[in-house]
Chains A and B, each alone.
Chain A
């Protein structure tokens, strides 16, 4: 039971966008598709959703070939960069329309899950960009899909909102045991949200693996620092602004994924990243991209 892509090819006029994509995504996995613009990742997503036809290969979902199956019979929903809510309907009506039973109660429950309780009767223009994206996510989930396709859904959001929504979507997809395919050009985002990542390059699969493995084996994937639950909050670490022989010096505080981190310099001159708040969950792993001289 999984999403199986076999030899998917797609050509636009005189350009081969996909040149034989083979990929197996097990049920329940959040899979990241990473690549630069033009690498074919969004086209692949649109082919799976049935919004685009492919020139070769097969798409199979839960042992059912999807070739020729219209989008409304696939039980697949897609979340895009823009919220794309229907402007003549209220926020809640947009969600109700997607529910299989046209149930207001169900729609209200979904809105509450995405932290929009009591906004059923709000007009679309009354919501902020982030709220609209959350409503759009509620609509996508309300359709009771088994597979959800996320086409760079965090691109147009500000950093704070972005990390909040990233965590919300990741947690809900896991809780509902859905399979998700996330398209992004942001490798850090893929590291945070995805269980496994596929690196696409000019229509080919360059590599597939866990984010940790890819960051080790694929130079183009990026150089990431792994922060895992083995790190402890820094409340009991000797931190000062004046270096002593055994203290860490706080160079720069920063936030990622809703957590507070600090970039510290050891007396020996090397840089380390440590969490600065208790909100950092022990057992979870985060990856931060490393740049020269620190994060």
Chain B
């Protein structure tokens, strides 16, 4: 019974969407911007998240605890507070209302979580096993061991950053100053203007992107692992 109840709660928000599937999808700037941000922010999160987690795991630097503290600081401070600080800095260097500024704000919001996710995954795999990869060249280490071994974490990082990118409205409006349209900003305009057709279309983009990305990553990792194993046969 409880499972049925949970299933109802999960399905409930989507019932209306499934009943009104848009017949056509118009690609506009906001969708392209959103897709571009999802790809770039996801890639940078995986790259920097795993790189920083690796450094934190292996470094003997006496600055380690400071870096760790600074990296995880955004996890403790409300995002809006830290973003307003960022707004002031970006305004000084002329990044307000630019694509770079919005990209930076999305990165700063997601990266601490990605580092934490990657670090936890590496911690669970264990330093002794990861040390075994140190006798391999860096490229072999990443291609043959790290990515296949951490595929679930990589997928979580990408999906997490995707969902954040897709759902950020206030920060994108604040830093983008209304000049950088994304699906979310369009969606709020559509809601405010009662444009149901436009709202529906963008809502479906919000739903489809993570699902497609999930399936895409699944396929990518399957191919990747098959190639790795094929190379070792």
List chain A positions with a Cβ less than 8 A from chain B.
50-53, 70-72, 76-78, 80, 82, 84, 86-90, 92-93, 96-98, 102, 104, 143
Q: By the criterion CB–CB under 8 Å, are A102 and B134 in contact?
A: no
Given contacts A86-B129, A88-B225, 18 further A-B contacts (CB under 8 A): A52-B60, A71-B134, A72-B135, A76-B135, A78-B135, A84-B129, A86-B132, A90-B229, A92-B232, A96-B232, A96-B233, A97-B140, A97-B144, A98-B135, A102-B231, A102-B232, A104-B233, A143-B135
A83 CB, nearest partner CB in chain B, Å: 10
Q: Residue of A at shortest CB range from B140?
A: A97
Q: By the criterion CB–CB under 8 Å, are B128 and A72 in contact?
A: no
Q: Residue of B at shortest CB range from A75?
A: B135
Knowing A72-B136, A98-B135 are in contact, say whether A86-B149 is a contact too (CB < 8 A).
yes
Knowing A53-B60, A97-B232 are in contact, say whether A86-B137 is a contact too (CB < 8 A).
no
Residues on the B chain within 8 Å of A86, using CB: 129, 132, 145, 149
B131 touches A (CB below 8 Å): yes
B148 touches A (CB below 8 Å): yes
Provide the bound-state CA to CA distance between A43 and B184, in Å. Answer: 54
Q: By the criterion CB–CB under 8 Å, are B140 and A82 in contact?
A: no
Residues on the A chain within 8 Å of B135, using CB: 71-72, 76-78, 98, 143
A90 CB, nearest partner CB in chain B, Å: 8
Q: By the criterion CB–CB under 8 Å, are B128 and A82 in contact?
A: yes
B180-233 CB contacts (< 8 Å) to partner A: 225, 229, 231-233
B170 CB, nearest partner CB in chain A, Å: 41
Q: By the criterion CB–CB under 8 Å, are A88 and B134 in contact?
A: no
A-B contact pairs, 7 of them (CB 8 A): A50-B134, A71-B135, A72-B138, A88-B149, A92-B232, A97-B136, A97-B232
Q: Digit string of B28-48 for contact with A (CB within 8 Å is 1, else 0)?
A: 000000000000000000000
A125 CB, nearest partner CB in chain B, Å: 15
A25 CB, nearest partner CB in chain B, Å: 20
List chain B positions with a Cβ less than 8 A from chain A.
60, 128-129, 131-132, 134-138, 140, 144-145, 148-149, 225, 229, 231-233
Provide the bound-state CA to CA distance between A90 and B229, in Å. Answer: 9
Provide the bound-state CA to CA distance between A215 and B86, in Å. Answer: 69
Contact count A vs B, C-beta below 8 Å: 51
Q: By the criterion CB–CB under 8 Å, are A84 and B232 in contact?
A: no
Q: Residue of B at shortest CB range from A104?
A: B233
Provide the bound-state CA to CA distance between A97 and B145, in Å. Answer: 10
Residues on the B chain within 8 Å of A77, using CB: 135
Q: Residue of B at shortest CB range from A71?
A: B134
Residues on the B chain within 8 Å of A78, using CB: 135
Residues on the B chain within 8 Å of A96, using CB: 232-233
Provide the bound-state CA to CA distance between A253 and B63, in Å. Answer: 59
Q: Residue of B at shortest CB range from A99?
A: B232
Residues on the B chain within 8 Å of A84, using CB: 128-129, 132
A154 CB, nearest partner CB in chain B, Å: 17
A54 CB, nearest partner CB in chain B, Å: 10
Provide the bound-state CA to CA distance between A76 and B225, in Å. Answer: 28
Residues on the A chain within 8 Å of B232, using CB: 89, 92-93, 96-97, 102, 104
B153 CB, nearest partner CB in chain A, Å: 13
Provide the bound-state CA to CA distance between A70 and B131, in Å. Answer: 12
Residues on the B chain within 8 Å of A53, using CB: 60
Residues on the A chain within 8 Å of B138, using CB: 72
Q: By the criterion CB–CB under 8 Å, are B134 and A80 in contact?
A: no
Residues on the A chain within 8 Å of B131, using CB: 51
Q: Residue of B at shortest CB range from A87?
A: B149
Q: Residue of A at shortest CB range from B225?
A: A88
Q: Residue of A at shortest CB range from B144?
A: A97
B51 CB, nearest partner CB in chain A, Å: 16
Residues on the A chain within 8 Å of B225, using CB: 88
Residues on the A chain within 8 Å of B137, using CB: 72
Residues on the A chain within 8 Å of B128, using CB: 80, 82, 84
Q: Which of A51, A76, A93, A143 contacts B229 (CB 8 A)?
A: A93
A190 CB, nearest partner CB in chain B, Å: 23
A108 CB, nearest partner CB in chain B, Å: 11
Residues on the A chain within 8 Å of B149, using CB: 86-88
Q: By the criterion CB–CB under 8 Å, are A72 and B229 in contact?
A: no
Q: Which 3 residue pairs of A and B lie closest in terms of their CB atoms, listed nearest first?
A: A93-B232, A71-B134, A96-B232
A48 CB, nearest partner CB in chain B, Å: 13
Provide the bound-state CA to CA distance between A266 and B37, in Å. Answer: 87
